[in-house]
Every structure is written in structure tokens, then in C-alpha cells.
Structure 1
Amino acid sequence: MLISSALNDRVKGWAALLDKKNRDKSGLFLIEGVHLIKEAFQSGAGVRTVVYDDERGLPEELADIEESERGMDAEWNRASRAVMAKCSDTDSPPPVFAVLVKPNTDAEALFRGKGLVVVLDGLRDPGNVGTIIRSADAVGADAVLLGKGSVDLFNPKVVRSTMGSLFHLPIVEGDLTELLPLAGDRGIKRVGTSLQADHSCYGYDWKQPTWLLMGNESNGLSAAVRELMDESVIIPMRGRAESLNVAMATTVLLFEAARQREL
């Protein structure tokens, strides 16, 4: 089907998913680009609709998927450049986008596996959250817990920044003041970072079940979360930089955890 008008009701519905309130209301979200859409299909995500630029044609990388999915749940549509632009928050419209059903990930996913979970407390930058999800995926972490006050997981910029890792591990959105005590009751160590910490991150035993707590870009961990923290560590730095970006710091800590656990 060719959809040419940006005033089409379906197009208005897709474009509305650029706003969080409409994503929350509908239970749907958008992804853009060939790579993300391939990852979504390969991961069994709930792809409802794929829309591609009629002038450019269906990207070659998706042709086999379209053929195999024909008659299945996903609907495939051609659209004008105006439609593609209306449904994107980027300066250059993508060649293809898709509408997906939000995954329903329950909190029990946090307690499965080897006990390495990344907990984000009030992170607001989409790029930071997306990068941390990629790093958690890269080291084989069990899950990511996104606390209240953080940027929406399905914000288009977060989704793009994950580069598909969004589909590879459980990501739970929840209240940290409720979930962190549950972790403590199960013997899981809740570890944060602090410039005043006495212990190096390289001296901490990451082989034990650990939830890594990372705080807001400007203010760090909230007072309520700090009260629930068992231990704090510091990343030693020899240069003159005061601190690392939260996504970089999280990546350093996760790879140290992976080094201890696997090497």
C-alpha cells in the first residue's frame, strides 16, 4: 500500500508516537533504520508495521525479511518522503521506520541469571542511557533497571543509541525504592560510585551478585538510593580530569566486572 499524504490518519497516529504520552497510551513505539529493524525481527520483537520510502524502495537488507514475513503479523507499506519526514525526529528522514509493541518485561527478570544488573537513577540524557544499554549488552549483563525520573526508554534518541541492544536483554522501568530493598533481601550487593570512596573498583569483588547503581549526570545518586547502597567504589584516574561521563564510567565498571567473572 502506498501512503502519500502526511495528513492520513494512520500517519498522524505514527507521528504521535514521537511523544511519550502517546507511546504510554498506545503501548507502541517507533524505531528507524535498517539495522534496528533487522535486529527487531531477529530478536522476535513485536513489529506491527514497517513503512519505507517509496522513492528509495525497500532496502535490500530487508527484502528477505519482507518475503519471509509476508502474510504474518507485520504489515509493510510504501510512503512518500513527506510521510517519512513527519514520522521522524531527525533532520534527514530515514529510508524505513517501524511501529513496535512495547515489550512487557516484569521485575522478576532482574533476578534471573548471574546477578549483574545496571541500575540507572534519574539519568536524563538519551545518549547516555542508550550507550549504557549497549555496554550492558556487550558484557552480558542480566538486565538494566531504569528508575523513575530517567528519560523514557522508548524515546527515539534512546532507541537509536542502543543500536539494537534494546532487543537483546531485559530492560525494566520501575521504582528503585521498591526494587532495591528486594535485591538486598536476596543477598545482592548494591554498589555505587563516589569520588570520596575508599575502595577502587578494581579491588571490588564483582564475581558476587551485584547491582551497579549509576546516578544523574549532574547530581549523581539521589539521597533515597544512596541510603540503600551497600558500598561505593571509585575509578582511579591518573590524569587531571575531575570525573568521567556516566556512560563511560558505567562501561569501565561493567568491563571490569566481566574481566573478573570471565578471565
Structure 2
Amino acid sequence: MITSLQNGYVKKWRKLKRKRGREKEQAFLIEGFHLLEEALQSDWTVEEIIFREGIDIQNEWQPYKWFQVNDAVFQEITQTENPQGVAAVVSMKEIEWSGGSRVLMLDSIQDPGNLGTLIRTADAAGFDGVIVGQGTVDPFNDKVLRATQGSMFHVPIYVGDIAKWTAELKQQGFAIWATALDEATSYQHLPPVTPVALMVGNEGAGVQKDYLEIADERVHIPIYGEAESLNVAIASGILMYYLRS
């Protein structure tokens, strides 16, 4: 059992709490039984499993490199207020474009909960990938990972420049729908199309003007009450499911 906060493994795990550390190690931490189960059942590589004293090692963990740690160590490496007592290190992997008919493009999404929900909803709606543009919160942030509820391991996540992705997708015949409040058409007046890339933007500023100008359609969702706008994850969910109809 590891009991020292100065242990080399503990120092490495602690670094994974920061983006710089994750990028250097090309790995990230997940917490909780559900996320671990989803990771183990996916094609992602689980490097190490860490469990707190008092937690029994599960049979399915036996083939993996695992460590038991005391409560102080576990509290040091995790970020939830009431951790379940299990965590794991998962290797990052470069995901190559595999094609598809529907993708979600994210421009400068800053709230981790929103990003996680967007990934989870894209998975639920059967989208073929999520393109995370510059200015968007790190998809390996612990809050993002928890909000995905495991969908991180099921839907391809591509990180890159939105303008370049848009140009490449257009060459492949994709229509680009971008959400906007001004000079936009209600989605209800547009028939669903495929292949299509749905572009949604920053919680406060929306999709950048440069990206709006290269979109094939600017779409909006009617507001019937007094709310100024919809949460980006809610709006995206409505549009993703509409594009499935």
C-alpha cells in the first residue's frame, strides 16, 4: 500500500490534475466506478488502477497494474468532494478521422459541465464525432470527464482548428449548420440534411463571426418565453436530435 505523498507514482498522478501535466504524460485521470467500467470496456488503454484502502480489488482489475493507497494519498490525487475510492490513469490516443454523416463542432466552449454534456448528448444522438476547437476547455479536464458519464470513451473526439476542419468537411460534402441569433433561420424551417456538421459556440459570444460567414446555414431555436437564450448544451441537444429525424 502506498502511504507517502512523496512517492513517485503519487507525484505523477498529482501532475495529471493539471493540463500541462496531462499533455506531458499523454495521460489523464478518471474517478469513480462507472467511468472506470466504461474505460475498461472501451478500446482506450487503462495504464493503472488506483483504489483506496477499504475498497476491495475487483476481479476485472487483476490483469491491470494496480495500486492500493491510503485515504490521505487518495484525497491528494482526486478532485471530487466525496470520491468513491477508485481512480485510474488512461493513456491519451490520437484519433484519426474515420468519416461519418453527422458531427458536432465546438467553438470556444468554456464551461466543463457544458462540454461534458455536449459530448454525452452527441453520443446519445448517434453523432459520429465531436470536433473541439481552439479556445474550448480541455476535454480531459476532470469535470468534463465526469459530465460525459463515459461517453468520452464511445464517441471520437477530435481537437483542432475549426476553420481547417470546416474546409475539409466541405470538401467531403458536409453541410455546415452554425447556430446564431441574428440573420438566422429557425431550424424548423430547414429539412434535416446529411452529411452535416453542427457548429455551436461560446456560452456568451456564440459562434465567431468568421465561422458564421463560412457556414452554409445559420440556424436558431425560437424562444417562446421570456428567456434570453438557451443553454448551449440544451440547444445543441435539440438540434442534434432534429438532424436525426
Aligned equivalent of 1:101: 91
Query: Which letter maps to 2:229?
Result: S
Query: What's the TM-score, normalizing by structure 2?
Result: 0.96
* Structure 2: gaps (5+ residues): none
Query: d(CA) in 1 for partners of 2:151 and 2:35?
Result: 9
Secondary structure of 2:214's match? coil
Query: Which letter maps to 1:238?
Result: Y
Pair 1:168–1:250, CA change in 2 (3 A): same
Contact 1:84–1:94 (8 Å) recurs in 2: no
Which segment is superposed worse, 203-212 or 155-164? Answer: 203-212
Pair 1:19–1:198, CA change in 2 (3 A): closer
Pair 1:198–1:23, CA change in 2 (3 A): closer
Aligned equivalent of 1:13: 12
1:27: Cα distance to partner?
0.3
Secondary structure of 1:3's match? coil
Query: d(CA) in 1 for partners of 2:191 and 2:174?
Result: 12
**Residue in structure 1 matching 2:119, options 126, 133, 148:** 133
Aligned equivalent of 1:3: 2
1:197: Cα distance to partner?
4.0
Contact 1:85–1:92 (8 Å) recurs in 2: no
1:54: Cα distance to partner?
1.1
Query: d(CA) in 1 for partners of 2:239 and 2:183?
Result: 14
Displaced runs of 4 or more, over 6 A: none
Aligned equivalent of 1:38: 37
Secondary structure of 1:30's match? strand
Contact 2:50–2:87 (8 Å) recurs in 1: yes
Query: d(CA) in 1 for partners of 2:25 and 2:189?
Result: 46
Query: d(CA) in 2 for partners of 1:204 and 1:146?
Result: 25
Aligned equivalent of 1:66: 61
Contact 1:134–1:165 (8 Å) recurs in 2: yes
Aligned equivalent of 1:186: 172
Query: d(CA) in 2 for partners of 1:198 and 1:122?
Result: 20
**Aligned residues: CA RMSD:** 1.3
**Residue in structure 1 matching 2:78, options 63, 73, 88:** 88
Query: Which letter maps to 1:168?
Result: H
1:92: Cα distance to partner?
2.5
Contact 2:38–2:153 (8 Å) recurs in 1: yes
* Structure 1: gaps (5+ residues): none
What is the CA deviation profile of residues 48-69 of structure 1, one whole-angstrom value per residue up to 9, with x for unaligned ones?
00000112333xxxx23124xx
Secondary structure of 2:243's match? helix
Aligned counterparts, 1:134-153, within 5 A:
134-153=120-139
1:94: Cα distance to partner?
3.4
Query: d(CA) in 2 for partners of 1:44 and 1:54?
Result: 28
Aligned equivalent of 1:217: 203
What is the CA deviation profile of residues 151-206 of structure 1, one whole-angstrom value per residue up to 9, with x for unaligned ones?
00101111111000000010000011211111112221111112224422123222
Query: d(CA) in 2 for partners of 1:22 and 1:94?
Result: 23
Pair 1:56–1:198, CA change in 2 (3 A): closer
How many residues are aligned here?
A: 245
